[in-house]
Amino acid sequence: MHPKHPSKPRRIVKVFLGLTAGSVLFLTNSAIAETTVSGAVSVGYEYDSNVSVDELDRSSSLGDGGALFAADISLDHDLSDKTSASASYGYSRIDYQDFDFLSRETHMLGGNISSKLGKVTAGINYFYINAQLDGSDFLTYHRASPSLSGFVSKRWFLRGAYVFGDKKIASRPGRDAQNHGTELDAYYFWRGLRRYINVGYVYRQEDSQAARFKYKAHQVKVRAVQRFEIFSKLSTLELGLRYEDRDYDEPTPSIGEKRRDERVRATVEFDLPLTERVNWGIYAGYSDYLSNLPSADYDQSVVGTKIEISF
């Protein structure tokens, strides 16, 4: 831990930059505050068996492949020995070969402040997401979430959070919505970070402009992570399963009854470090969306691979 700053620190004129070590050091009259800089760039390819736009309940029932590109950068700064702050920016893009009009570009800005209060850590984070389809504005989303977390034993770590979100979809004002929810996560560290299990529950209530899109949802998830050595490299295998039940508040005119959705998604991902800074990953996922609204009733398989360079 770094020494705690005085109440009114005076920063000297000379500033030293240590970018090669992945950090920026600011010297004050009594302490050194460290800002850690990290990031990654990745390229890859993904095949989707059913290219869809989940936010609009639309699927093509046709498959297509697309090139992937992603980049992100984050800055973490210690405000004191118990309080830290971070900021991040991420960019991702997928360019489909045939469904180019559904090619998606996403920008995400994030910020977080957390502080240790004894054995509990209190934090608040904020995300802003802007997504485009084929170069045109599609989705904007704001998300704010205060949280409490901490270890309750040597192996168990718990986290609880309240979530507020606000989304707007271009040319679909009826789907503009605010949502409120709670998140509960439990982590069991079987062998530290080498092997652990995450079990979570989410409750979400979405209040859309159009009554037929309002719903309440319950979601449960299970995730298992196993790290092991291959060719003296620490590889990661991750398995995930998620179930969501959505119960809509008002009848949907096209079907003459209240809509009901059940969504199941299973994922598997394997990452293998090639060098200290280069990582190769492959992943696959299967989603089964069950709904009494025909356009929202479909299944989907996704497979992909990527090469990531981190700094």
Q: Looking at the domain assignment, is residue 188 inside a domain?
A: yes
Largest CA distance in the chain: 70
Give the H or E element holding residue 20.
Answer: none
Average pLDDT, the chain: 90
Q: Looking at the domain assignment, is residue 14 inside a domain?
A: no
Mean pLDDT of 221-235: 93
Q: Looking at the domain assignment, is residue 236 inside a domain?
A: yes
Q: Looking at the domain assignment, is residue 144 inside a domain?
A: yes
Q: Is the pLDDT of residue 19 over 60?
A: no
- Report the percentage of the chain scoring pLDDT > 70: 89
For the stretch 126-165, pLDDT in tens is 999 999 999 999 999 999 999 999 999 999 999 999 999 9
Find the domain containing 172 and state its range: 38-310
Please count the structural domains in the chain.
Answer: 1
Higher pLDDT pick, 46 / 171: 46
For the stretch 168-196, pLDDT in tens is 999 899 999 999 999 999 999 998 889 99
Q: Looking at the domain assignment, is residue 161 inside a domain?
A: yes
Smallest CA-to-CA distance from 231 within 264, 280, 266 is with 280
Q: Is the pLDDT of residue 24 over 80?
A: no
Q: How many CB atoms lie within 10 A of CB 261?
A: 19
CATH number at residue 279: 2.40.160.40
Q: Looking at the domain assignment, is residue 33 inside a domain?
A: no
Q: Is the pLDDT of residue 7 over 50?
A: no
- What are the structure tokens assigned to 303, written together? 């497979």
Q: Looking at the domain assignment, is residue 23 inside a domain?
A: no
For the stretch 239-279, pLDDT in tens is 999 999 999 999 999 999 999 999 999 999 999 999 999 99
Quickly state the pLDDT bin for 33 (edges 50, 70, 90): low
Quickly state the pLDDT bin for 290 (edges 50, 70, 90): very high
Quickly state the pLDDT bin for 232 (edges 50, 70, 90): confident
Give residue 3's pLDDT: 38
Q: Looking at the domain assignment, is residue 184 inside a domain?
A: yes
